[in-house]
Structure 1
Amino acid sequence: MPPTPILWIGARVWRAGALAGLAGLLLIGGCAVGPDYARPDAPDDQAYKVDGVTAGSISDDDDTPLDAQMFERAGAVRADWYRVFESERLDALIKRALTDSPTLAAGRARLKSAQEAVTAGKAALLPQVDASAGVSRQRASGIELGIDDPSFINTFNLYQGRVSASYDLDIFGKTRRQIEQTQARLDFARFEVLNTYVTLINNIVATAIAEAGLNAAIDTTQQIIDSQQRTLDIVAKQVEYGVAIDADASQIRTRLARTRASLEPLRKQRTIAVNRLAVLTGAPPGQFEDPQFHIDELTLPATLPVSVPSALVRQRPDILAAEAMVHAASAQIGIADASLLPNFSIGASYSREGLSLGDLSDPITALWQIGASASAPLFAGGRLRARKRAARDEYVATLADYRATALTAFGEVSNSLRSLESDARALHAQQTAAAQAQRNLDTVRARVRNGSASYISLYTAEEQYQDTLLDVTDARVTRYRDSAELFRALGGGWWNANDPLAMTDAAQAALSD
C-alpha cells in the first residue's frame, strides 16, 4: 500500500532539511581548530663567517708551496661530492654501499611503512562502507514474544544481507590534524633516512682517507726501518774493525726495535679501517677485498662550496627532521583542541532478511535506517585540558630542540671552515720542517762522504727526516678528512640527487618475499 500524502510530504521535508543541515556542517568543516603550522624563520646569513680562501696560500717564492682551497659562498653542493677526490675505487665503493648497506635498506623500508600510515590515515576523511551477509539456523519459542505456550516453538533458517555506511563530518578538523601529524612524522622518517644516507657516504670517505693515511704511514715507517737496518749494518762493521764502539750499535738497535714495534699498531689500525669499510658497504670482512687506498692517489678539492645559513636549514637532514617534529607537535595542539569540542557523524544502513534465500529479493523484507549523531565531552576530570597544555609545552620543547639542532649545524660548518684554514697552516709548517730536515740530511751525507761526520750523525739525520715525513702525512690526511667533513656539514647535497632513497630491485624483491 503506498504511503499517505501526509507521510510522503513529511519524508520529503525531512530529507530536504537533512541535506541542508549536512551542507551547512560541511561548510563549517572547512576549517580546523588549532594553530596552522608555519616554518621557523630562516636565520641571519651571518650565523657563521665564510672567508674566500684558506690560510696557507703560499707565494711563488716560498720553497714549500701549498695549494690553497677556495671557498665558494652559496656554491652548489653536488650530490656526488665524493667524486672531487677523483678516485674510481672510492666511487665504486660508495656505489656498492648505497646498494647493499643494510642500515640504508632498513631505513628505506621503514620509510615505506610510514608512507602507508599516511595513506591509511587519509582514508578517515572518506565515507566508510561495510557489507555483511550470513545465514543461521535458529530455534525460537513464544516466550520471547510473551506467549506462554510450550507448543509455540519454531525452528527455521534466517538469511540476512546488510550494507552500512558512516561518515565522520570532522567539523573541527580533528581527523585532518591527525593526518597532518602523520604526514609530519613521515617527513621526519624521510629526513632521518636521508641523514643516514649522507652519514654513510661521509663515513666511507673518511675511512678510505684514514686507510690511505695509514698505508702511507706504514710505507714511511718501513723506509725508516730499512734505513736504520742499513745504518746498523755499517756501524756493526765499524765496531768489528774497531772504528766505532758497541754503544753506538746498541743505540741504533734500540731505536730499530722501537720503530719495528710501532709498525704493528699501524697495521692493526689499517685492518680495523678495512673491516669498517666492509661493514659500511654491507659485506662480511672475510669476503671484502682491501681497496688499498693511498693518499697520493687522492686529489685535494681546490674549490669547496659553502651554503649560507638560510640555505643550510633547508638542506641539512637533521635540521629538517627536527623541523618535522615541530610540525607534528603543532598538529598535536589542534588534535587536543578538537578533543574538547563535539564530534558529528552520519550513518545509514540497508538490509534484508528472509526465511529462504529467495526471500532476499522480495522488497517487503527490506529494512533501512538513516540518522545523525553527535557526541561531546561533558566531564573528564580535567584530562582533556591537561592534554592540551601538555601539547603546547611539547611544541615549545620541540621548537627549542630545532633551534639547538640548527645551532649545532652552524657550529659544525664553522668548525669545518676554521679547521681547513688551520689544516693548511699546519701542513705548510710540517712541509717546511720536512724541507729543513731534508737539507740537514743532505749536509750530513756530504760530510760523511768527506769523512767529517760519522754514520751515527747520518742515522740521526735520516731518522729526523723520516719522522717529519710522517708528520706531513698526518697533516695531509687531516686536510683531506676535514674537506670531506665540510661536505657532510653542509648536508651532503642529497637534494641535487634524482632519488637518493630509491630502493634497488634486490631490496624490493627482499621485501616482497
Structure 2
Amino acid sequence: MVQAAVLTLGNAIERAEANQAIVQQAKHIVSERIDLHRATHADLMPSLSLIAGSIWSQTRNGQPLFVAANAPREIIGQVQLNIPLYSPQVNALQALAHHQMDVARYQEHESRLLVAAQVTAAYYRLALWDNERAVWNSALGAAQSLFKATQQGYQIGSRSRLDLIQTQLMLTHIRGGLRQAMVEAATARRVLALQTDYPLDELPKLATITLPKAALPEEKVLDRQATHAQPLLQAAGAEVQAARSLLQYHQAARLPVVGAVGAYGMDTGMLPQSHDLGWQAGLTLHMPIFGFGRNRDRIAAAQEHLTAIEAGKQALLLHIQNRIATDYGATQAALNALHNNQVVEQQAHVVYQMTRKEYLAGALSALALQQAEKDWVQARLKLAGAAIGVRLAKAQLTLDTGVLPQPSEGQS
C-alpha cells in the first residue's frame, strides 16, 4: 500500500469508516434487514411442498375405537402447491420489513457520522498540538540565540548577572512548554492512529490547516439541511413508518385470509395403485370471529407505540435544532476569537521586536524582554488554538446537519 504524503481530514474519515467495527456492524445489520425483507416478500409467493403419511384406525368388534382416516389404513402422498390470494397480515409484514431495512440504512449513515465526529476531534487535536509545538520550537530558537548573546555580554561586563538568569529562566520556561506540547502531540497522534487504523510509525503528517474561505451560512439554511440529510431524523421517520406497518399488521388480524391449494398425488384408503394418482384443487378461508379482546388490545398498544415514536421524532428534531443553534453560536464565537487573536498576536509581535532591540542595545532589562516574549508566545498559542477552533467548530456544525466532510477538507 502506498502511504499518503499527507493526511487530510476527509482521507482520515474515509479510512476510519473502512476499518472501524461500528460501521462494519451497521453494514451487517443492513444486510440482515435486506434478507428479512426478501423473506417476507417470498411469503407472498406460491410455495411447493411434499405431503406423505400413513394413518391407521383401530376397531373392536366392528366398532371404531379411534378414527383418524377414511379406512383402516389411509395412505397419503402428494405434491402440494399453496397460493396466498389475500393475506393482509403478510402484506403488512412485508411493509414492516421494508421500513426496518430503511431504519438500518439510516443507522449505518449515523454510525459513519459518529466515526466522522470522533476522527474530526482527534484530527484537529493533533493539528492543535502540532501547531503549538511549532510555536514553542520557534520561540526556543529565538530564546537560545538571545541567551548566547546575553552570556557574551555578561562575560564582557555589559550585562548583569540578573539579565543572564532572566534569559536562562526564559529558556527553561520555553523548553518546558515544548516538552509538554510534544507529550500532548504524541498522545494525540496515538489516538488518531487508532481511529484510522494506521500503525503509529506509518501515520502520515497532517495536511496544512487553512482557514475556511466560505462564509458561514444562515442558521435556517442549516436547519433545512439537517431536516433532509440528518440520518437521525431519517431513521426516526423510517421508525414512524415501521410503527404504522406494525399497527396495520395487528389490524389485519381481524381480516379473512384466502388461499388456493393445488395438489397432485394420492389419498386412498386402500393399498396404493397407479390409478390412484390424481389432481386436487381447493380454496381455503380463515375468518377470525372472537378472540377475547386479544386483537383489540394489540391494536391499542400499536397505536400508543406509533404515537410515542412520532413524539420522539419531534423531540429529536428539537434536539438537533438546539444543537445547531448552540454550535452555530460557538462557530461565531470562534470566528470572533480568531479575529481578536490575530490582532493581539500582531501587536504582541511588534512589542517583542521593539523590546528585543532595546534589550540588545542595553536600554531595557531582561525582565522586560521576558515579559514581552511571554506575551508574544501566549498570543501565538492562542492564535494557533483559535485557528483550529474555527475549523473544528465549522466541521462540527457540518456534522450536525448530517453531512460528512469532503475528501479535500483541511488541505491548503
Q: Given the two structures, how large is their TM-score scaled by the length of structure 1? A: 0.66
Deviation at 1:184, TM superposition (A): 1.1
Change (3 A) 1:301 1:352: farther
- Aligned match of 2:282 in 370, 374, 389? 370
1:176 maps to which residue? 91
1:31 maps to which residue? none
1:165 maps to which residue? 81
Amino acid at match of 1:374: H
- Aligned match of 1:352 in 251, 258, 266? 266
Change (3 A) 1:247 1:417: same
Secondary structure in structure 1 of the residue aligned to 2:228: coil
Equivalent-residue separation in structure 2 for 1:265 and 1:451 (angstroms): 33
1:320 maps to which residue? 234
- Aligned match of 1:439 in 336, 339, 350? 350
Equivalent-residue separation in structure 2 for 1:248 and 1:448 (angstroms): 10
How do 1:24-423 residues align onto structure 2 when only pairs under 5 Å count?
89-132=8-51, 144=58, 146=60, 161-170=77-86, 173-235=88-150, 256-281=171-196, 283=197, 285-286=199-200, 289-293=202-206, 296-298=208-210, 300-303=212-215, 307=221, 309-352=223-266, 362-366=274-278, 368=280, 370-376=282-288, 378-380=290-292, 382-423=293-334
Contact 1:275–1:285 (Cα < 8 Å) also in 2: no
Change (3 A) 1:300 1:367: closer
Amino acid at match of 1:194: H
Contact 1:312–1:490 (Cα < 8 Å) also in 2: yes
1:81 maps to which residue? none
Equivalent-residue separation in structure 2 for 1:402 and 1:446 (angstroms): 65
Secondary structure in structure 1 of the residue aligned to 2:229: coil
Secondary structure in structure 2 of the residue aligned to 1:126: coil
Contact 1:434–1:465 (Cα < 8 Å) also in 2: yes
2:69 maps to which residue? none
Instruction: State the Cα deviation string for residues 251-289 of structure 1 (Å, max 9, x = none).
Output: 5555544543443443333233323333333x2544x52
Contact 2:76–2:267 (Cα < 8 Å) also in 1: yes
Change (3 A) 1:363 1:248: farther
Contact 2:244–2:306 (Cα < 8 Å) also in 1: yes
Secondary structure in structure 1 of the residue aligned to 2:309: helix
Secondary structure in structure 2 of the residue aligned to 1:125: coil
Q: Does 1:430 align with 2:349?
A: no
Equivalent-residue separation in structure 2 for 1:341 and 1:91 (angstroms): 53
Change (3 A) 1:397 1:346: same
Equivalent-residue separation in structure 2 for 1:176 and 1:311 (angstroms): 34
Contact 1:206–1:484 (Cα < 8 Å) also in 2: no
Deviation at 1:291, TM superposition (A): 1.9
Amino acid at match of 1:272: T
Aligned residues: 390
Deviates more, 1:179-188 or 1:223-232: 223-232
Amino acid at match of 2:282: I
Change (3 A) 1:273 1:237: same
Equivalent-residue separation in structure 1 for 2:268 and 2:250 (angstroms): 47
Secondary structure in structure 2 of the residue aligned to 1:314: helix
Deviation at 1:311, TM superposition (A): 4.6
Deviation at 1:179, TM superposition (A): 1.5
Structure with higher helix content: 2
1:470 maps to which residue? 381
Contact 1:239–1:246 (Cα < 8 Å) also in 2: yes
Q: Given the two structures, how large is their TM-score scaled by the length of structure 2? A: 0.80
2:3 maps to which residue? none
Amino acid at match of 1:481: L
Change (3 A) 1:308 1:464: closer
Change (3 A) 1:353 1:174: closer
Contact 1:168–1:344 (Cα < 8 Å) also in 2: yes
Amino acid at match of 2:223: P
Question: What is the percentage of aligned positions where both structures have the same residue?
Answer: 19
Equivalent-residue separation in structure 1 for 2:275 and 2:167 (angstroms): 111
Contact 2:166–2:366 (Cα < 8 Å) also in 1: no
Change (3 A) 1:301 1:102: farther
Deviation at 1:337, TM superposition (A): 1.9
Deviates more, 1:298-307 or 1:371-380: 298-307
Change (3 A) 1:254 1:390: farther
Instruction: State the Cα deviation string for residues 6-45 of structure 1 (Å, max 9, x = none).
Output: xxxxxxxxxxxxxxxxxxxxxxxxxxxxxxxxxxxxxxxx
Equivalent-residue separation in structure 2 for 1:434 and 1:368 (angstroms): 93
Aligned alpha-carbon RMSD (Å): 3.7
Q: Which sections of structure 1, spanning at least 5 residues, go unmatched?
A: 1-86, 149-157, 498-513
Change (3 A) 1:354 1:167: closer
How do 1:6-25 residues align onto structure 2 when only pairs under 5 Å count?
none
Secondary structure in structure 1 of the residue aligned to 2:321: helix
